[in-house]
Amino acid sequence: MPEDLKHIADDYRWGFRDEVEPELALKGLTPETVRKISEAKGEPAWMTEFRLKALEAFFKMPMPKWGPDLSALEQKLDDFYYYVKPPSRGPAESWEEVPEEIKKTYERLGIPEAERKVLAGVGAQYDSEVVYHKIKEELEKKGVVFVSIEEGLKEYEELFKKYFAKIVPPTDNKFAALNSAVWSGGSFVYVPPGVEVEVPLQAYFRVNTAGFGQFERTLIIVDEGAKVHYIEGCTAPLYTTEALHTGVIEIYVHKNAHSRYTTIQNWPTNMYNLVTQRAIVEEGGYHMWLDGNLGSKVTMKYPSSILKGRGARSEVLSIAFAKTGQHLDTGAKLIHLAEDTSGQIVSKSISKGEGRSSYRGLVKVSKNANRARANVECDALLIDPESKTDTYPYMEINNETAQIGHEATVSRLADDQIFYLQTRGLPEDEAAALIVRGFIEPVAKELPLEFAVELNRLIELEMEGSVG
């Protein structure tokens, strides 16, 4: 193992690291790296071509000039590992087949337990390769596909090709281009017409190599009248060097289909987290993005819904918690292309210490989107005098029948609230934690139970000794 893969720091909750030697590790951003990734995955020629073109686009596009400072990242793009293949025997079908070392890691992550509770299937990603994957039999019987993105390309190439990169083309933005060139890992989901998946599909991701950027790619297709809830959780050990995560999530919600994508990222605070998430929603369809951002050094993520069909609806609910050293630049986009489309954005952010949270959003109503409606609510809570928050909502309205509203508030932890709760016997930091939990409640109540519990625990931890 190269020397720079051996750094480890212990003080992060998930900060354990497994002694697993990777089989193949590709560093640096070159066409050679891209070709090797494609080759290692045994991809068809069109995909190799696609990747190389995307890499070209990446080099041509400038770094974003707005938002968080990415200059440090730009300097070290060549130092990251763009592909790491762990020494496993490939996807395992059952828990027993998973290597002991890796199993231990998952046990610490609580995955088997979670599975026993609510999981329909687990696509657990260990570095770039999916080593453990399971789908309940009844889902398979209904024709639901829930596999790794690589398997999706291999086994369902026609379907894959029809949607892949159609929602987020490589040229969409610089980091979508990067992901398109080096993507590895992620999920491929297809829900056939009329099938309702009652239990959420979950995938756990874990980055396990220092300096290694994770480039997962997920493609979800919800066919007519179908219903699905996909959950992704992200967590990674802490490394002494900065890391990069650049994901692309594409979701196609067909006529009258219903989908929900939930993700909570708790990356360590030296991670650049630059993600493109976009859904296209057809007539009568509904899509919800539920987005939690707790970790990372810098996050830039603006889940988007393109309301393409008449009456399509979308909701984006998000929570951000920025602490000292973090700049979380998150938001949402609603693009109304058709009549009677409607959307709702609720964003709750908390800044603590010198943390900075920014909301950046867009509501766009095109000429033909008669009677489009959208409502945006952004609330920021500031804990300390040094805490920062920004709000940048864009509204571009080209139809006179649209009804669009945006409201934002900035408030701080109020002394009178703390005093009130204290007179009921709650210690000061518990009172503060309770107020913070209350503040995010409108979004948190939509979270799956185990996420909500974890979030509450985290807030309590963060608020300990934070006031007074």
Interface residues with another protein (CB under 8 A) are 65-66, 380, 382-417, 419-428, 430-431, 434-435, 437-442
Helix (H, G, I), strand (E, B) or coil at 113: helix
- In the DSSP assignment, the letter for residue 92 is B
CB 230 within 8 A of CB 201: yes
Around Cβ 373, how many Cβ atoms within 10 Å? 18
Report the residue number, 7 or 388, with the smaller CB distance to another protein. Answer: 388
Q: How far apart, in whole angstroms, are the C-alpha atoms of residue 134 and residue 56? A: 37
Question: Which residues are paired to 382 by β-bridges?
Answer: 351, 412
- For residue 419, the minimal CB distance to another protein (Å) is 6
CB 248 within 8 A of CB 179: yes
- For residue 448, the minimal CB distance to another protein (Å) is 18
Give the amino acid at 85.
K
Phi and psi torsions of 403, nearest 5°: -125, 110
- For residue 451, the minimal CB distance to another protein (Å) is 17
Report the residue number, 240 or 398, with the smaller CB distance to another protein. Answer: 398
- For residue 242, the minimal CB distance to another protein (Å) is 25
Report the residue number, 59 or 419, with the smaller CB distance to another protein. Answer: 419
Report the residue number, 139 or 362, with the smaller CB distance to another protein. Answer: 362
Report the residue number, 8 or 408, with the smaller CB distance to another protein. Answer: 408
- For residue 297, the minimal CB distance to another protein (Å) is 19
- For residue 390, the minimal CB distance to another protein (Å) is 5
Report the residue number, 258 or 333, with the smaller CB distance to another protein. Answer: 333
Report the residue number, 85 or 406, with the smaller CB distance to another protein. Answer: 406
**Sequence-separated (6 or more) residues with CB below 8 Å from residue 27:** 33, 78, 79, 80, 81, 82, 211
Smallest Cα–Cα separation from 258: which of 336, 337, 311?
A: 311
- For residue 354, the minimal CB distance to another protein (Å) is 10
Q: How far apart, in whole angstroms, are the C-alpha atoms of residue 39 and residue 143? A: 30
| End-to-end Cα separation, the chain, in angstroms | 48
Q: How far apart, in whole angstroms, are the C-alpha atoms of residue 385 and residue 351? A: 10
Report the residue number, 21 or 400, with the smaller CB distance to another protein. Answer: 400
- For residue 343, the minimal CB distance to another protein (Å) is 14
Q: How far apart, in whole angstroms, are the C-alpha atoms of residue 120 and residue 124? A: 13
